[in-house]
Amino acid sequence: MSYPYFLTRFDSTMIILIPAIILTLYAQSRVKSSFDKYLRVQARKGYSGAQVARMILDNNGLHNISVEMTPGYLSDHYDPTKRVLRLSGEVFQGRSIAAVSVAAHEAGHAIQHSSGYMPLSVRNMIFPVAKFGSSAAWGFIIIGLFIPELGVLMDIGIFLFAAAVAFQVITLPVEFNASRRALKLLESNGFIVAGEEQGAEKVLKAAALTYIAAMASGITQLIRLILIRNRSRRR
């Protein structure tokens, strides 16, 4: 019985994933340390994350968007389909610099949605394909590798995986813009005082690094899959 070439010897293409893996581990460590650090630093104005989110939404005419508490650690997100802003317990109830920063960031996404921010619209448009691609891609890829006669399935898998990577790429400007909005909203609405913006910026920058790492990981994995496909077809 013959095996695909990539199973018969060391896969040298794994090497290109190493920098992305290191960046991912660093980003995860950075966001956790920054969030945990500023979760212990109380914002002097004393607003909770839920209050900050609610006031930002109301000040922008988004009274129809509800703010809810959701379980999990760093599980904060804005759901554009249900028009709900969900905050983790630490953020919803917390009155720390980390809590108000994350709450303002998620409120920034709601403002993006209501104003028709183009990158967010594009991201929402490709989300269904990206979601399917991230879950189904590997099935097509593995079948295509094991059965050379069905090599076209690997092409389909790579295309689906590329859609998931495209989603990660378009996520970057969406997240960066939401963080810039958050800092401006925190300062202009008086939710933080002079000196606290530095902590808020560190929390938001650390979070942004995780999206950069995810994009880098996706791109390098896509390159690796293309190399494996090309190598398998030369044999």
76: left (phi over 0), alpha (psi -120 to 50) or beta: beta
Say which of 106, 149, 175, 197 is annotated catalytic: 106
Residues in the chain: 235
Instruction: Verify whether residue 106 is a known catalytic residue.
Output: yes
* Phi, psi values for residue 184, rounded to 5°: -65, -40
**Strand 77-79 to strand 66-70: parallel, antiparallel, or no bridges (unpaired)?**
unpaired
Q: Return the active site residues.
A: 106
